[in-house]
Amino acid sequence: MLSHIIHNQRALLVSHFIWLSLLALSLVYLFSSLHVVSDITQFMPNKHKDKDVQLLIDELQQGSTARLLIVSMSGDNAKNLANLSKQLKSKLDTNKNFLLTHNGQQNKNISALINKEYKFLFEYRYLLYPNHSFSREELSLSLKQRLTELRSGINFFKNTLSSDPQNHFFNYLRTLSERSNNTLHHGVWFNKEKTAALLLVEMNLENFNLDQQQSALDNIRSTINQLSPDNNIKTEITGTASMAVATRAAIQSTSKKLSAIALILMSLLFWWSYRSLRLFFIAMLPLISAVIAALSMTNIVFQQVHGIIIAFGITLLGVCIDYPVHLFSHHTKSQTPQQTILSIWPTLRLGVMTTALAYLAMLGTGFSGLSQLAVFAVTGLIVSLLVTRWIIPHWLSINFIKQDHHYLSYLSRFNFSFKYKFFVSFSVLLFCISAILLNYDSLWSKNISDLSPVPEQAKILDQKLRQSVGAPDVNHVFLIKDKNPENLLQRTEELVNDLQALKNKQLANTIYSVIDFFPSQKSQRLKQQQLPDRDQLENNLHAASASLPFKKSFFSTFINDVEHSKNLPPLSIEQISNTPLNKLLQQDLFFKNNEWVSIIRLSGVQNESNLAKWLAGQPDIAPYYLNLRQATSSLMFDYQQTALLRLLTGAIIIALILLSIRPVLRAGIILLPVVLAVFLSVSIQVMLGAHLTLFHILALLLIVGIGLDYSLFFDRRWTSAEDYQHRLHGIFISASSTLITFGILGFSDIPVLSALGQTVTFGVLGCFILTLVFNVNNSQKA
């Protein structure tokens, strides 16, 4: 007896030493190196079949557009909002957290503009933009137009008159401003309704660190508050960064709310079932250990943890609380806690191992998010099992007695006939099949944003503001790549030329590409050749201005500039990158994966099927066409099929394990209620109008893990009526705790989490009822 106690003491010391030191190490590690990311790319395939689609998605998510924020300010009259916009721009321009702020404000002093940042572009004006108006008649028209402007009193171009009497440079800049269909009001960008002033802010970020992004956003908001302390300006900010921050905030607030409500309800549950709050805190130990270990392991393996994994994973580990619950419920006064854990150990171990294997099937899918989830879940499950096995028993007092509950003897008296069980399975199957068949076409989600953890409100805001600033539409694009930028520009020119047919056939309104403002060197040389000689221009100009009151030789700068243009070396990509047009250039032309990429965008496509028909007849053009919406939905499809396949693989692994250690019939009875519950849960979601995504599949995996535990515990041989009631008690408390956690999650703001919560809630409810129906009084008495 004494040696047993000493042995026990030593076991306690050793196990607690290992447990506590590992926990401490993990905590130190997490505090120093936990790296939470939240971009949706983590849940996207590492390599999409179509490399061009992947390239475009990467560019949209990580390229220059990912650094942009759209700021909208409303709630005051337009004049004040415009002033606020101007003040905000000048404040942010001097703030080193931001690279550039655009609000449509133009330097009205054109001559100052031309002498400063636009000087270089002005020099190259005749190479960048076509000008065929050098004939005597056209020059005369231009000059008369300038006189009309002078008479009207509103002449912006007085100071550029001598060098650019045709307003050629202004026309060039105007084609660029037309690309963004912004509304100018009081000199700054407004939405179409003119109720909100809009700004585009480019952040100065070295990496996409969430805290940095958060502080940049706070910075903008506090600056606006400083500028208008009395007014209730409504500030809305969107952009990749702001959505990431909003997602993190939503996950944090959901986790907080969830844990607060769950804590209260769970402690009530424990009080009701065990008359002990102490047990509740003991039951939390495996869970807390599991979360810490799982986070550390995931971060060690992947050097980062996805935000959604944390939210998903922690609730997933809500399963972990089941293990100590089974221990508590099976514990009687006739046993030591060690004896109790040994008696349920084989069942617990089998449950954890099968579930863990199902999760391991998610490894190697090529989706980094899924791999992270697998590592997280498997680590968490195993750690909580180990803590339940070697730590928890030491914390239980020997003479711990739990309350008897009448419902247990009521539940244990159930005994369903074979006919009844058959009827139940048949009607569940009938319901599931009809639900799935009725919604077969819309069963799977085709919209990639369904996968995004971004709160619904943030998504709507993002769409609204993107439309108001006229952000480029990337649904219909042509993508060309070339190692040589000059070749690429020439090929872009050829393709754009071929695409003019789309405008003629009214299949598209406008075609945007880099050559709108930066033609190839070949085309620049052609423009140079088309410029008139000095003598020719002098003669034409002389004739054109003969009857006009302009001073003789006033336009000599113009004549010199045209002559100078004829001898300029063509403008290179490097040179134009150093001008204010760089921002625009990056949307259409960028360097990626050792190649130059040019993007031609179509806007105003009314009829997609007509466009597709036209493309089908153009073998030279069609290969460059990308329909991003279609591409991403096919990508979603591939993705879901892969995940579904892995789920089936996991199920087969579980079935094989059970078959190898149980007779076929028993294995069937263990699996049947779980399989039925999975189908039931899917069918209910489908009937509620949800489109299935990856997260539903992951939820199903969770149901399998939880349901299997119930089935296995029912399957355990029992020794007495009291023992049988204990297992019912354990399963009942487990199911109640899971329903509490996931029921609360079902009300989350984040669509992904609420889908998860609802699916698991229905699934676990189904599992509990169906295992009861199929297994009650079905296992053998030992």
Partner 1 sequence: MTSGKMSQIKIHIKKNLLILLFLSTAPVLAVESEIAPKSELSELLTQFAQIKQSTVDFTEEKHAFFLEQPVLSSGQLQFIAPDKLSKFILKPEKITQQVHADVLKITSQGETQTINLNEYPEFSIILRSIISLLSGDHDALKRDFKINFEDNLTSWTLLLSPHDSYVSGHVDSIKMLGKKNKLMKIIITEPNNDRSVTSIYNHR
Binding site for partner 1 (CB under 8 A): 79, 82, 108, 147-148, 150-154, 158, 161-162, 185-187, 549-552, 554
What is the DSSP code string of 618-654?
-TTTGGGEEEHHHHHHHHHHHHHHHHHHHHHHHHHHH
| 675, 82 contact by CB (below 8 A) | no
Q: How far is the CB of 156 from partner 1 (least distance, A)?
A: 8
Q: How far is the CB of 79 from partner 1 (least distance, A)?
A: 7
Q: DSSP letter for 64, please.
A: G
b/e per residue 380-405 (b: at least 16 CB within 10 A)? bbbbbbbbbbbbbbbbbeeeeebeee
What is the DSSP code string of 691-737?
PB-HHHHHHHHHHHHHHHHHHHHHHS-BSSHHHHHHHHHHHHHHHHH
Cβ closest to partner 1, residue 148 vs residue 582? 148
Q: What is the 3-state secondary structure (H, E, C) of 160-197?
A: HCCCCCCCHHHHHHHHHHHHCCCEEECCEEECCCCCEE
DSSP helix/strand/coil, 549? coil
Q: DSSP letter for 398, please.
A: T
Q: How far is the CB of 91 from partner 1 (least distance, A)?
A: 20
Rg of the chain, C-alpha, whole Å: 35
Residue where the block lists tokens 């096995």: 389
Cα–Cα distance for residue pair 778/718, rounded to 1 Å: 11
Cβ closest to partner 1, residue 149 vs residue 595? 149
The token duo for 120 is: 């270089």
Cβ closest to partner 1, residue 185 vs residue 726? 185
Q: How far is the CB of 154 from partner 1 (least distance, A)?
A: 6
Cα–Cα distance for residue pair 463/474, rounded to 1 Å: 13
Q: How far is the CB of 535 from partner 1 (least distance, A)?
A: 23
Cα–Cα distance for residue pair 126/161, rounded to 1 Å: 16
| CA 677 to chain CA centroid, nearest Å | 30
Cα–Cα nearest to 699, from 313, 254, 428: 313
Residue where the block lists tokens 């070295």: 206
For the chain, the distance separating the N- and C-terminal CA atoms, rounded to the nearest angstrom, is 29
Cα–Cα nearest to 695, from 258, 257, 370: 370
Cα–Cα distance for residue pair 381/323, rounded to 1 Å: 10
Give the other-Cβ count within 10 Å of 746's Cβ: 18
b/e per residue 171-186 (b: at least 16 CB within 10 A)? ebbeeeeebeebbebb
For residue 35, report the phi and psi dihedrals to the nearest 5 degrees. Answer: -125, 105
Beta bridge pairs of residue 369: none
Q: How far is the CB of 185 from partner 1 (least distance, A)?
A: 7
Cα–Cα distance for residue pair 360/375, rounded to 1 Å: 8
Cβ closest to partner 1, residue 147 vs residue 645? 147
For residue 188, report the phi and psi dihedrals to the nearest 5 degrees. Answer: -135, 170
Give the other-Cβ count within 10 Å of 429's Cβ: 15
Q: DSSP letter for 444, please.
A: B
* C-alpha distance from residue 440 to each of 193, 683, 689 (Å): 41, 11, 12
Cβ closest to partner 1, residue 148 vs residue 463? 148
For residue 470, report the phi and psi dihedrals to the nearest 5 degrees. Answer: 65, 40
Cα–Cα distance for residue pair 620/603, rounded to 1 Å: 21
| 431, 683 contact by CB (below 8 A) | yes
Q: How far is the CB of 549 from partner 1 (least distance, A)?
A: 5
What is the DSSP code string of 567-613?
TPPPPPHHHHHTSTTHHHHHHHEEEETTEEEEEEEEE----HHHHHH
DSSP helix/strand/coil, 535? helix
Cα–Cα distance for residue pair 748/754, rounded to 1 Å: 5
Cβ closest to partner 1, residue 198 vs residue 348? 198
Please give the single-letter amino acid code of residue 343: S
